[in-house]
């Protein structure tokens, strides 16, 4: 199993299964891992936080069965991550990331906003890494209170909802603001529109965990894509 928080932090490539062939999931994941991907990224969408609907804990359970030693990074694009963290951890997730946009005070308690500190604590008590995510329009300072307890900070470089969108360069300043504020063992992850053409700007901002869906699964030479992302 990958030791996510070990130093020195070489860049990791996370294969987002959103662009895999859902009818041949294990084979497609095996191909991505053989091409050099370090871990699998699981995009969970609830049809509320984002309009799209994707996958639940059973996907993670099956991935864990087929890949007992592969790190599973679960990205919860859901309104109520507090209801779903435990089922995904029980199914075999290694990291649970949830959005700042559904956390108090950005979303008030009266509107269902969750207590991020309490959720991070619950995730950690279950022996799992915890991450928080910011969407492109969201300022990063709301994360400041949590940075010392996070294993992963994920900067979205597209508006979440689907793969295959164009990289939004305006999020780079946010990554640069976050990087020096992270613990040395915390990963700075970026997600959306990353490919061999857009990766340099992300890497220069300190990104050391690279999510890729369409660029990787859409390529005929997947190993060449992973090499270019890590170069
Ligand atoms: C977007 C998801 C991403 C997505 C990335 O809502 O969180 O993980 O799959 O897709 P690409 O790499 O194609 O932009
Ligand atoms: Zn994602």
Q: Would you name the residues annotated as active-site residues?
A: 43, 191
CA distances from 46 to 5, 22, 43, 53, 80 (A): 29, 18, 10, 5, 9
Contacts of 11 (CB under 8 A, 6+ apart): 203, 207, 208, 209, 210, 229, 230
Do 75 and 52 meet the contact criterion of CB atoms below 8 Å apart?
no
Q: Which pLDDT belongs to residue 26?
A: 98
With bands split at pLDDT 50, 70 and 90, how would you rate the model's confidence at 5?
Answer: confident
Residues with CB under 5 A from ligand 2 (ion): 43, 75, 191
Q: Structural domains in the chain? A: 12-230 (3.20.20.70)
The closest-lying atom of ligand 1 relative to the alpha carbon of residue 165 is 14
- Span from the CA of 110 to the centroid of ligand 1 (angstroms): 30
* Ligand 1 pocket test, candidate residues 43, 98, 197, most atoms within 8 A of CB: 43
Q: What is the pLDDT of residues 37-95, one digit of tens each?
A: 999 999 999 999 999 999 999 999 999 999 999 999 999 999 999 999 999 999 999 99
What number is the average pLDDT over the span 195-219? 98
* Ligand 1 pocket test, candidate residues 15, 16, 39, 197, most atoms within 8 A of CB: 16
What number is the average pLDDT over the span 134-145? 98
- Residues having CB within 6 Å of any atom of ligand 1: 16, 18-19, 41, 43, 75, 158, 160-165, 191-194, 211-215
Of 115, 122, 182, 125, the closest CA to residue 154 belongs to 182
With bands split at pLDDT 50, 70 and 90, how would you rate the model's confidence at 6?
Answer: confident
Residue 8 has pLDDT above 70, yes or no: no
The closest-lying atom of ligand 1 relative to the alpha carbon of residue 192 is 14
Q: For atom 6 of ligand 1, which residue has the closest CA?
A: 160
With bands split at pLDDT 50, 70 and 90, how would you rate the model's confidence at 7?
Answer: low
- Span from the CA of 16 to the centroid of ligand 1 (angstroms): 7
pTM > 0.95: yes or no: yes
- Span from the CA of 83 to the centroid of ligand 2 (angstroms): 19
Average of per-residue pLDDT values in the chain: 97
Q: Which pLDDT belongs to residue 50?
A: 98
Q: What is the pLDDT of residues 91-131, one digit of tens each?
A: 999 999 999 999 999 999 999 999 999 999 999 999 999 99
């Amino acid at each position: 199993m990958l030791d996510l928080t070990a130093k020195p932090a070489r860049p990791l490539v996370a294969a987002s299964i959103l662009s895999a062939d859902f009818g041949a999931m294990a084979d497609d994941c095996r191909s991505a891992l053989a091409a050099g991907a370090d871990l699998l990224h699981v995009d969970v969408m609830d049809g509320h936080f984002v309009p799209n609907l994707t996958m639940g804990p059973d996907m993670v359970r099956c991935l864990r069965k087929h890949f007992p030693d592969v790190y599973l990074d679960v990205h919860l694009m859901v309104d109520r991550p507090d209801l779903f963290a435990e089922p995904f951890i029980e199914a075999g997730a290694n990291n649970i990331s949830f959005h700042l946009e559904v956390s108090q005070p950005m979303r008030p308690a009266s509107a269902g906003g969750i207590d991020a500190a309490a959720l991070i604590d619950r995730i950690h008590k279950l022996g799992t890494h915890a991450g928080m995510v910011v969407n492109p329009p969201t300022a990063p300072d709301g994360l400041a209170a949590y940075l010392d307890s996070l294993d992963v900070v994920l900067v979205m470089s597209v508006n979440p909802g689907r793969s295959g969108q164009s990289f939004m360069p305006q999020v780079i300043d946010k990554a640069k603001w976050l990087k020096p504020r992270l613990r040395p063992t915390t990963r700075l992850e970026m997600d959306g529109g990353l490919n061999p053409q857009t990766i340099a700007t992300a890497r220069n901002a300190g990104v050391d965990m690279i999510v890729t869906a369409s660029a990787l699964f859409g390529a005929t030479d997947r190993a060449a894509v992973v090499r270019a992302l890590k170069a």
